Amino acid sequence: MKKNCIITGATDGIGKQTALDLAKLGYCIGLVGRDEQKGTLVLDEIERATGNQSLQFFKTDLSNIKSLESLSNELKEKYDSLDILINNAGAYFSEYIQTEAGLEMTFALNHLNYFRLTHLLMDIIKIDQPGRVINVASSAHFSARLDINDIQMSKGYKGWTAYCNSKLMNILFTYEIHKRFKETGITFNALHPGFVDTRFGDNNTGLGKNILSIGKRLIAINVVKGASTNVYLASSDEVKNMSGKYFDKSRSVRSSKVSHSEIYQEKLWSYSEDILNNL
């Protein structure tokens, strides 16, 4: 029986490559993105490359947290159960942007999207043959400067700090949801994909974009290597019973000291719930 896998942010970069690699393994893939035309092109490309016809695109703006319930309903109409959820969508915003719901964009897209979508899909993530939730974080979390009392940086926004903070939130969330749901057998892991040569950061202008562009040319790895830890965590039997871990280059490694703070984990969880309750 084919395994069902949902990948967010799957029309470009490591999300697209992950979808391609898992399609080669025969997985049934649901790709989530905001550009329907691009999504259709990616579906066609993956199908031609792999011969796998068990592919579907779901159009959603993942920064619009209210829209995630509609997405989850669509997914549940298509899939009776999920084997794998890969929370991959994310971006860096050099300037402060507010969503329609009044949320800081980096927080909404890079963290609250993971938090909300995972909760909405928990009831169809397999328990009998435990499902896997994979959260794409980054080693950028080591540079986070998260003020747990000002999570959305209302006292002064800095784009790169906001991005680093959001990647720390991915790991805090991973550790906390593992603690809360470990009895289900579902596994929850986070990962650093590497500094990958993708379109990451191209939505910005000015110095931030220029620095990223130079870095990509000089030291970035290709998308195949960047997607490899995603694919490993989704498909390898070696990690089927591993949960609450942070991976780099397909190995469990130690994340930052603050990511292990139970106070931060619990406060972020409570704050996220409060935001959702008031949307």
The confidence score (pLDDT) of residue 2 equals 86
Backbone angles phi, psi at 63, to 5 degrees: -80, -15
The 3-state secondary structure of 5-69, one letter per residue:
EEEECCCCHHHHHHHHHHHHCCCEEEEEECCHHHHHHHHHHHHHHHCCCCEEEEECCCCCHHHHH
How far apart CA 7 and CA 20 sit, in angstroms, is 11
Structure confidence at residue 271 as a pLDDT band (50, 70, 90): very high
Residue 279, pLDDT > 60, answer: yes
pLDDT of residue 219: 45
Kind and range of the H or E element at 217? helix 207-219
pTM recorded for the entire structure: 0.91
Quote the strand ranges of the chain, DSSP E.
4-8, 28-33, 55-59, 84-87, 132-136, 187-192, 245-248, 251-253
CA distance 156 to 90: 21
Q: List the domain range (segments joined by +) for residue 88.
A: 4-277
Number of domains in the chain: 1
Find residue 247's DSSP bridge partners.
191, 252
Pick the residue with more confidence: 204 or 144? 144
> The CATH number of the domain where 161 resides is what?
3.40.50.720
Q: What pLDDT digit, counting tens, does each position of 20-61 carry?
A: 999 999 999 999 999 999 999 999 999 999 999 999 999 999
Residue 36, number of CB atoms within 10 A of its CB: 12
Distance separating alpha carbons of residues 203 and 12, to the nearest angstrom? 13
Cα separation of 15 and 29, whole Å? 11
Amino acid at 229: T
Place 209 in a pLDDT band, splitting at 50, 70 and 90: very low
Task: Give the residue numbers marked as catalytic.
Answer: 163
